[in-house]
Amino acid sequence: MQQPTPGTNRFAHYRKQPMMLGIFATNGSASVGINTVPSSYELSWDHSLAIAELADGIGFELFMPLSRWRGFGGVSNYAAETYETLTYMAAVAAVTRRVMTIVTLHLPVVHPVLAAKAIATIDHVSRGRGGINMVMGWYKAEMGMFGLAPHAAEDRYVYGAEWLEVVQRLWTENKPFDHEGRFFQLKDCISDPKPIQARPPIVSAAMSESGVRFASQHADLTFASFHGHEHLREHSRNLRRVAKDAGNPDVGLVCVSIIVCRETEAEAQAFFKHLRDNADLIAARNLAVQSGTDVDAVPKEKQEEFLRDVAMSAGSVALVGSPEQIANQIADLHAAGVNALFLGFHDYLKELPFFAERVLPILEQMGVRMPVEIAQ
């Protein structure tokens, strides 16, 4: 296969889709939902390969792993087993031909010089489909494994901006340079080869005010937690206003969704209830606490339902119903300002083909998706 011309921008082409679609977190022992319901889903390379090839063949635009270093306990020990993201995505890049292979990195544990070289390598392996999902790293237990403490909240995105500055200089500058900053003091820096893309896309989270400022200046896509459509619309309006002032008006908004799609609404709701009834409440509590949520502030009589909510979403939006209903729910998200949606399924090998066969044609009829031509 012929190597793309340096400076190409596959992501800009994909960004023309009204709603880009992607797959998230198939590199962990539990992909979506913290529950104990059996599934064919497993942590193995063969299984990851099957999901990646499915998503690629269907015509999805995005593929991204979750970065975790330890589990959250409970019966499921949620996310205890995970593949490391750089090596995992290099492998995915080699076996796909369409999806953007975006690597999730905890910035405090990955030096920017290493990151610049690694992402450039993945960009070459994928023939111009690499990218970075920048995670500032706030779980104390995970950071402690590296002898680190999370940065203070006010410093996380300051660190991220300096980290990204070093990476982007390494991607673009042809002569060695020194960097003297608050967090990095680097000498005689150079990195070759450069990425194939003019700039691999940057993904970040934008839930906080500082996150919105960072995303408005630096990101191509930015995550938002789902707390209802009106909240999402207001968040989208605020992000676009700040981004326009920062000279980055095309930043896209991303949500993560759990999809339970069946022939009928009754079937879908019954299975969603089955998942919810079998939530791992201990793991859900541990995740909530490590994310900074004061679970004990929730009235005791409401804590169980609260933790079931965490287990079934944790910032994601649950889309439940028939194919027509799922398509309408995705259209509602698009109308609220969402430009890309990462999809999660309890059983990918069964449910992803059903989604492609039954939901995608409806989205195309609605104008929420354009017909996809598989990129060669």
pLDDT in tens, 115-128: 999 999 999 999 99
Residue in this structure with the two tokens 């967090």, named with its chain if needed: 183
Residues 92 and 69: their CA atoms lie apart, in Å, by 20
Beta strand spans in 107-233 (E) = 130-135, 177-180, 185-189, 202-205, 221-223
Domain count along the chain: 1
| pLDDT on residue 314 | 63
pLDDT over 60 at 193, yes or no? yes
238 domain residue, yes or no = yes
For residue 75, give the amino acid letter: V
| pLDDT on residue 251 | 93
| pLDDT on residue 288 | 86
| pLDDT on residue 312 | 85
189 domain residue, yes or no = yes
269 domain residue, yes or no = no
Higher pLDDT, 170 or 228: 170
Residues 123 and 199: their CA atoms lie apart, in Å, by 10
Phi-psi region of 30 (alpha: psi -120 to 50; beta: other; left: phi over 0): beta
CATH code of residue 47: 3.20.20.30
| pLDDT on residue 135 | 93
Beta bridge partners of 106: 135
Residues 221 and 250: their CA atoms lie apart, in Å, by 9
pLDDT over 70 at 293, yes or no? yes
Arithmetic mean of pLDDT over the chain? 92
276 domain residue, yes or no = no
pLDDT in tens, 172-186: 999 999 999 999 999
307 domain residue, yes or no = no
For residue 255, give the amino acid letter: C
Residue 208: pLDDT band (50, 70, 90) is: confident
pLDDT in tens, 55-110: 999 999 999 999 999 998 999 888 899 999 999 999 999 999 999 999 999 999 99
Mean pLDDT on 323-327: 98
Q: Which of 129, 169, 166, 136 has its CA nearest to residue 67?
A: 136
Q: Which of 200, 322, 312 has its CA nearest to residue 256?
A: 312
pLDDT in tens, 130-162: 999 999 887 888 889 999 988 888 899 999 999
295 domain residue, yes or no = no
pTM over 0.95: no
298 domain residue, yes or no = no
DSSP of 276-316, one letter per residue? HHTB-HHHHHHHHHHTT--GGGS-HHHHHHHHHHHHHTTT-
- How much of the chain, in percent, has pLDDT values that exceed 70? 97
| pLDDT on residue 2 | 57
pLDDT over 90 at 211, yes or no? no
Mean pLDDT on 219-245: 91
For residue 207, give the amino acid letter: M
Q: Are 342 and 22 in contact (CB under 8 A)?
A: yes
Residue 376: pLDDT band (50, 70, 90) is: very low
Tokens representing 214 are: 């960072």
Query: Where in the sequence is the domain holding 25, given as residue range(s)?
Result: 10-264+316-366
Beta bridge partners of 342: 22, 256
302 domain residue, yes or no = no
pLDDT over 60 at 375, yes or no? no
Residue 373: pLDDT band (50, 70, 90) is: low
